[in-house]
């Protein structure tokens, strides 16, 4: 998935179809002198339906089409024939898509399962034909109902990535480089902050043809939970990751303090994020010799008491397989238990 093709937020206008009109037809046959009403009902207007699709990873396909209109129901006809229902329109979205009302910003629902369908705009009900209105005192009603109008509304689609591992770190911590090395993803990489402006997904190939999904979330800065920098637009993606991999560069002034700032931003945004499995990877560790690593471990062991950490280097391919092993164990711990 290239960065330019990733879209995680779109505004869409949807309109369902209006119901067909009921028929006010009266029977006219050669040997029936006084034919009664035989008008059929109008067809239902088409629904606009949102459907989950596990093969989609982005909302990019909505970028060039922002209006969806379902078909109108057909009118009823003679011999109590019901009009055909209007054609439904299906909007396929990736799993983890949240649907909101554009006016109120209210969350309407979230699509989390493949094939899950939710109607976002109901088609109008078809009108009743005159056959429904006959009675002992009104044997030839010459009227029928008109169909009900459809619904029109604007909605927001917001994607929360459904990845196994979410990469969390400050800008220029080496997240994109790690993703490019550990997966086949090709994110933009450069030596300046905020290189990644869109989340990137990659599939990690593990032993025995097993895989798991990793997401590179754009760099967090202090105050992101309050909207600073790239703000909470990307923090929402972390909510869907089962394991969080914190990346802190080896040349950071205070590795544990950077980790605490990142953790604090997640806690401010959503305290439930602290319940997720966590691992700290100290990146760019090819800059460290064995003696310096040993000195750093003494200090790190004092601080990282309840969470594991490890040294890695994406460029020098150091500790990458050990990182995969550790992440796989964390992701499958519940199954093994």
Q: Which residues are annotated as a binding site for GTP?
A: 169-176, 194-198, 216-219, 283-286, 313-315
Residues in binding site for Mg(2+): 176, 196
| Alpha-carbon gap, residue 99 to 235, rounded angstroms | 17
The DSSP symbol for 85 reads P
Three-state secondary structure string covering 244-288: EEEEEECCCCCHHHHHHHHHHHHHHHCHHHHHCEEEEEEECHHHC
Q: How far apart are CA 107 and CA 155, in angstroms?
A: 10
Paired residues of 205 in beta bridges: 211
* Beta-carbon count within 10 A of 286 CB: 16
Cα–Cα nearest to 45, from 69, 23, 18: 18
User: Do the beta carbons of residue 59 and residue 150 sit within 8 Å?
Assistant: no
> Cα torsion for 268, 270, 274, 279, to the nearest 10°?
-90
- Residues forming a β-bridge with 154: 13
- Is residue 256 within 8 A of residue 297, CB to CB? The reply is no
* Bind-site residues: 169-176, 194-198, 216-219, 283-286, 313-315
For residue 261, give every residue at least 6 positions away whose Cβ sits within 8 Å of its Cβ, in sequence order, or none: 222
Q: Which residue, among 272, 270, 279, has the nearest Cα to 333 in the 3D structure?
A: 279
């Amino acid at each position: 998935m290239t960065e330019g093709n990733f879209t995680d937020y779109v505004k869409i206008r949807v309109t369902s179809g209006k119901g067909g009109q009921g028929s006010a037809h009266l029977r006219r046959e050669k040997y029936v002198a006084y034919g009664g009403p035989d008008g059929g009902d109008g067809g239902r207007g088409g629904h606009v339906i949102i459907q989950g699709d596990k093969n989609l990873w982005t909302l990019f396909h909505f970028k060039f089409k922002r209006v969806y209109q379902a078909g109108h129901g057909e009118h009823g006809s003679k011999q109590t024939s019901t009009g055909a229902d209007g054609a439904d329109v299906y909007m396929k979205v990736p799993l983890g898509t949240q649907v909101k009302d554009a006016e109120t910003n209210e969350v309407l629902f979230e699509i989390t399962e493949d094939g899950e369908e939710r109607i976002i705009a109901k088609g109008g009900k078809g009108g009743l034909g005159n056959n429904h209105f006959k009675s002992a005192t009104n044997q030839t009603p010459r009227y029928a109902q008109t169909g009900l109008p459809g619904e029109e509304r604007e909605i927001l689609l917001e994607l929360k990535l459904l990845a196994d591992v979410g990469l969390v770190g400050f800008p220029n911590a080496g997240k994109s480089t790690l993703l490019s090395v550990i997966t086949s993803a090709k994110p933009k990489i450069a030596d300046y902050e905020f290189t990644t402006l869109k989340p990137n997904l990659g599939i990690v190939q593990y032993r025995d043809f097993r895989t798991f999904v990793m997401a590179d979330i754009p760099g967090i800065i202090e105050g992101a939970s309050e909207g600073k920098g790239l703000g909470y637009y990307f923090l929402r993606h972390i909510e869907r990751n089962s394991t969080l991999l914190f990346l802190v560069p080896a040349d950071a002034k205070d590795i544990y303090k950077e980790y605490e700032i990142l953790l604090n931003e997640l806690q401010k945004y959503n305290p439930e994020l602290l319940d997720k499995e966590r691992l700290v990877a100290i990146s760019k560790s090819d800059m460290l010799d064995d003696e310096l690593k040993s000195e750093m471990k003494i200090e790190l062991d004092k601080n990282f008491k309840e969470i594991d950490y490890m040294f890695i280097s994406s460029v020098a391919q150091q500790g990458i397989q050990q990182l995969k092993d550790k992440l796989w164990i964390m992701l499958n711990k519940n199954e093994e238990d």
